[in-house]
Amino acid sequence: MPQSVALLALVSALFYCLAMFAMKSWASVQSLWVVLVIGAALLAAGAFEAFALQRERLGLIYVGILGAEVVFIGVVSLLHFEERYTLREGLGIALVLAGAAIAWS
């Protein structure tokens, strides 16, 4: 698989994560700017995903984006939002990452 496809999936995942973090902040900061960030991030994520889908199969792109989102959101949730995961949640995260690694290898 070309590196450009992996990069497109990675950038798409970053924008999806940005949208999710903006959605989480919506609870405390309800403003038009947050809504605009959510909308712009989702549009950008969808555009990068569409470019990736032109070059690779749907299943691989989906798994790649999902795996990258799990890493990004997991790290930011631990470091910034100070969320903790149960053993079962940690195992679920590990299974998603293992599945993504197997699919992309």
Q: What is the pLDDT of residues 4-63, one digit of tens each?
A: 999 999 999 999 999 999 998 888 888 999 999 999 999 999 999 999 999 999 989 999
pLDDT category of residue 1 using cuts at 50, 70 and 90: low
Report yes or no: 70 and 17 within 8 Å, Cβ to Cβ: no
Q: Give the pair of three-digit tokens for residue 40.
A: 């712009």
Q: pTM of the prediction?
A: 0.86
- Residue 51: CB atoms within 10 Å: 16
Q: What are the residue boundaries of the structural domains of the chain, listed by start?
A: 3-104
Q: Give per-residue burial for 68-96: e unless 16+ CB within 10 Å, then b.
A: bbbbbbbeebeeeeeeeeeeeeeeeeeeb
Per residue in 54-88, pLDDT (tens digit) is: 999 998 999 999 999 999 998 998 888 788 899 99
Under 8 Å between Cβ of 6 and 56: no
Q: What is the predicted pLDDT for the residue at 26? A: 86
